[in-house]
Structure 1
Amino acid sequence: MRRGLVCLVLAAVLMLGTACGAKQADAAEEQQTLTGTLDEVKSFMFVVTDDQNSAYVFPTEEGNAPQGLADVSVGDRVTVTYTGTLSEVDGLDGTVVSVEAAE
């Protein structure tokens, strides 16, 4: 009897943990945007500063720039679409989907 209760509780905990992990994965895949000024472009990253003067680093793979990055220049106002988590300290932990000139 006691063993069956323990198994039931463990099964419930595992199902709850799996559901929470799926929600976190979905949130990481949600597309978000940042609009600001393109300050710097290098082969491995680019930097955008938002209207609050916070600078964000977006990594790129050398030779594989995100869609639209080649169409904008340093000093342009841009909108970056990305997935993942963006931080002033750590930059982007995710993927840049596109970069386009902001209106």
Structure 2
Amino acid sequence: MRDGTGDMQTPFLQQLVDTDIEVFVFLVNGVKLRGRLAAFDKFSLALQASTSTQTIFKSAVSTICDASAAPIRTSSAGDSSRKAEHLPSLLETSVQYRRRVRLQ
């Protein structure tokens, strides 16, 4: 907490704007957005994608994370070339996982 205000969002979001890294923004309805955080204010975020800028209300955001995070591999040492196909990734919503498993 800085200055006794308890505001954690401002320094975190400002760092994302300053570093200009690509992020995933997960919404509370399960939608995953990808882009660079261009700006923010008290109530909204401006997410710059390759073709457009989206304004997102903070109340609709569930999670923001770095898009360049390495995927987690769950295979054993002897089976390192094969990906675990039936396990959900950290960035996959439960609905997407159920649909993917159902289609296999």
TM-score range (shorter-chain normalised) is 0.3 to 0.5
Rg larger for: 1
Greater relative CO, 1 or 2 (CA 8 Å, sep 6+) = 1
Greater helix content? 1
Q: TM-score, normalised by structure 2?
A: 0.35
Greater strand content? 1
Q: TM-score, normalised by structure 1?
A: 0.35
